[in-house]
Amino acid sequence: MERIYRSIFYLPLVLIIAACSNYLDILPDDQITDQTFWQTEEDVELTMNGIYNTLRNNFVYGYGGGYDACTPNAYQWAHWEGQQMQVGAGQIYSGSGGIVSSRWTYCYQGIYRANYFLENIDKVTSLTDEQNSVYKGKAYFLRAVFYDLLAKTYGGVPLVLNTLTPDEARNLTRAGEEAVWDQIHQDYDEAIKVLPKDASTGHITLGAALGMKMKAYLYNSQWEEVLEYCNKIETLGKYSLFPSYYGLFQFENEGNSETIFSLSFMAGPYSQGSVFDRYWQPQNLKYGIDGSNSVAPIQDLVDAYETIDGTAIDPENPYENRDPRLDFTILRPGAYFQGQLYPDEIKNHTGQLVGFGIRKYTIETMEVKGNESPLDFMILRYGDVILCKAEALIELNRDIDTAIDLINLIRRGREDVKITAIPKGLSQSEARETLRKERRIELALEGQYWDDIKRWKIGPEIYPVEVRGALGELIQIKFPNGYDIEKDNYLPIPDSEISLNPNLNQNYGY
């Protein structure tokens, strides 16, 4: 049954629609057809899983913290076009392929599946009204998530709210970015009306809808709304900081009190696991793990971590007295992973080049084969919400001392992270700088910083950035000619889409 949802990968939007229009008709008549489908709740669940599974694609959310390679946080070892490496260096173009075409393709794949689901679920008459409403709420939520990614990546995109024929798809035009965001909020609102506060692990809840709607407001600097929805999340009384920052990203603590919206993975074959241990984990000959560590943090990120007590970093002992989140996030020289010394006993490709590896989202307590990691990826967690609330208060210039209390909760509210508290009495600009530094550290290698750079419009301030090797040699300069907000805050519309539909005008600068 799984292959129903694997039949339309790597296709442009027009071809996705052509393939999807009968994507339940591809199996033999004695197994499943459009006419015999939509009979039971199992059919509904199967189709819902098809929408959700699209999130797992590497160019949607499946690459997790690897998207920090689009920022000064990390470097990606990749020699093929259209990867996070080229995005982070300002070397992307409309024919790059990779993320340029695949994010578009897979997001529209998810949107088509959501539309198809919404148009057909009423055929299953065995569902109660409540079950029907909750399933629809999940579909609206997921459609909003896909459009959310498209808007952040490309700006205005075609709004497709029903299933289309290939001919209709060839005549689509781009909606304005504001109209796309309006639709995103409408879909989140539909989800908020019906999703339950509590559900079994891996199911979409009210908190996820409130949180992702809040993040949509955050991206567009709608601070009153950010504050409103942060308060709504708090009112649920469901979420809290997990007491261990290190443990937050370990398999045994999945679904903990900090998890609001996560991408679920399963151990075993058939590509149900994540790529995190294949791409992040170092090569471990002891366990027979051939990790590539294709993305690795760089010195620019390491230097951003403070000392525990606020004193200067000791150049002779640079890793002593540092914010504990440094060692919980980054595998650095002299640290141990699975009982082996890095980089002497345990190595990786990219980390050997730039000197560091990723520890966050790698499983140290069990053996994991490539592409079979069962560790879920948190798309949204409560620590992020706390910082969003602090940022809204700062940007509204309202009760900045309360915002500082929230930042200090992140810095001191866990059992294994206790660093110097930020003093109160800061100006708005001082508090803003403090908040932005804290977000970078707290959420490092979680795929959040790319969005932050774009929405803060700070690219011209932080680039160019040098990527140096472990011996100090220059490897790459990110945005060597500087960062153009109007161009570089967006990716280009894929050439493959424009060739099929000339009504799609290209983004500025591409």
* pLDDT tens per residue, range 128-178: 999 999 999 999 999 999 999 999 999 999 999 999 988 899 999 999 999
pLDDT of residue 82: 87
What pLDDT sits at residue 1? 27
pLDDT at 14 exceeding the cut of 70: no
pLDDT at residue 57 greater than cutoff 80: yes
**Partners of 307 in the β-ladder:** 322
Give the whole-angstrom CA distance, residue 467 versus residue 474. 6
CB 467, CB 475: distance < 8 Å: yes
| C-beta separation of 172 from 194 below 8 A | no
Helix-helix angle 206-219:223-235, to 10 degrees: 160
Q: What is the pLDDT of residue 173?
A: 97
Mean pLDDT of the 411-419 span: 98
**Which range among 265-279, 326-340, 407-421 has the greatest average pLDDT?**
407-421
The ranges assigned to domains in the chain are 2-195+491-500, 269-374
The values of phi and psi at residue 414, to 5°, are: -110, 160
Is the overall model pTM greater than 0.85, yes or no? yes
| Per-residue pLDDT band at 11 (split at 50, 70, 90) | very low
Q: Check residue 352 and give its pLDDT.
A: 76
Higher-pLDDT residue of 364 and 495 is 495
pLDDT higher than 80, residue 286: no
What is the residue-averaged pLDDT of the chain? 90
CA distance 365 to 385: 29
Q: How confident is the model at residue 31 (pLDDT cuts 50, 70, 90)?
A: very low
**Residue 12, pLDDT score:** 57
Q: How far, in Å, CA of 171 to CA of 271, rounded? A: 35
Higher pLDDT, 117 or 26: 117
Mean pLDDT within 305-330? 97
Contacts of 219 (CB under 8 A, 6+ apart): 152, 451, 455
pLDDT band at 347 (very low <50, low <70, confident <90, very high): confident
- CA 432 to chain centroid: 23
d(CA 492, CA 469): 30
Q: How confident is the model at residue 305 (pLDDT cuts 50, 70, 90)?
A: very high
Q: What is the pLDDT of residue 294?
A: 83
Chain-centre distance of CA 300, in angstroms? 21
What CA–CA distance (Å, rounded) separates 134 from 191?
8
Query: What span, in angstroms and rounded, lies between the C-alpha atoms of 410 and 400?
Result: 16
Summarize pLDDT for 224-242 with one digit per residue, the tens: 999 999 999 999 999 999 9
pLDDT higher for 53 or 25?
A: 53
Per the CB < 8 A criterion, the answer to whether 419 and 308 are in contact is: yes
Q: Residue 8: pLDDT band by 50, 70, 90 thresholds?
A: very low
Distance CA 495, CA 58 (A): 20
- Residue 75 near residue 350, CB atoms below 8 Å: yes
Q: How confident is the model at residue 9 (pLDDT cuts 50, 70, 90)?
A: very low
Identify whether 196 is preceded by a cis peptide bond (ω within 30 of 0): no
Q: Spell out where 217-317 has E strands.
A: 259-263, 283-284, 289-290, 295-297
Using the structure block, give the residue that is written with the tokens 């567009």.
220
**Range among 19-23, 337-341, 444-448 rated most confident:** 444-448
Burial of 125 (0-12, 13-18, 19+ CB in 10 A): exposed
**The amino acid at 152:** K
When pLDDT is cut at 50, 70 and 90, the band that residue 350 belongs to is confident
β-strand 340-341 against 336-337: which pairing, if any? antiparallel
Mean pLDDT of 57-79: 92
What phi and psi, each to the nearest 5 degrees, are found at residue 381? -130, 165
What is the pLDDT confidence band of residue 25, given thresholds at 50, 70 and 90?
Answer: very low
Please write down the long-range contacts of 168-171, taking CB distance under 8 Å and 24 or more positions apart. Answer: 168/17, 169/13, 169/14, 169/17, 169/18, 169/501, 170/14, 170/500, 170/501, 171/501, 171/503
Contacts of 478 (CB under 8 A, 6+ apart): 72, 88, 89, 90, 463, 464, 465, 466, 467
> For residue 246, what pLDDT band results from cuts at 50, 70 and 90?
very high
- Three-class secondary structure of residue 255 per DSSP: coil
Residue 268's pLDDT is 66
Name the residue among 177, 130, 139 with its Cα closest to residue 155: 177
d(CA 114, CA 142) in angstroms, rounded, equals: 7
pLDDT at residue 80 in the model: 78
pLDDT given for residue 28 in this prediction: 37
The percentage of residues in the chain with a pLDDT greater than 70, rounded to a whole number, is 89
Whole-number pLDDT of residue 271:
59
Residue predicted with more confidence, 3 or 253: 253
| pLDDT value at residue 420 | 98
Q: Can you tell me the mean pLDDT for 7-27?
A: 43
The CATH number of 2-195+491-500 is which of 3.30.565.10, 1.20.58.390, 1.25.40.390, 1.20.1530.20?
1.25.40.390
pLDDT at 313 over 50: yes
> Which of 214-218, 270-274, 398-402, 477-481 shows the lowest per-residue confidence on average (mean pLDDT)?
270-274
Residue 117 pLDDT greater than 90, yes or no: yes
What's the mean pLDDT in 240-260? 96
Q: Could you give the 3-state DSSP secondary structure of residue 49? A: helix
d(CA 25, CA 237): 45
Which stretches of 382-427 are DSSP H helices?
A: 382-395, 400-412
Rounded mean pLDDT of 460-473? 95
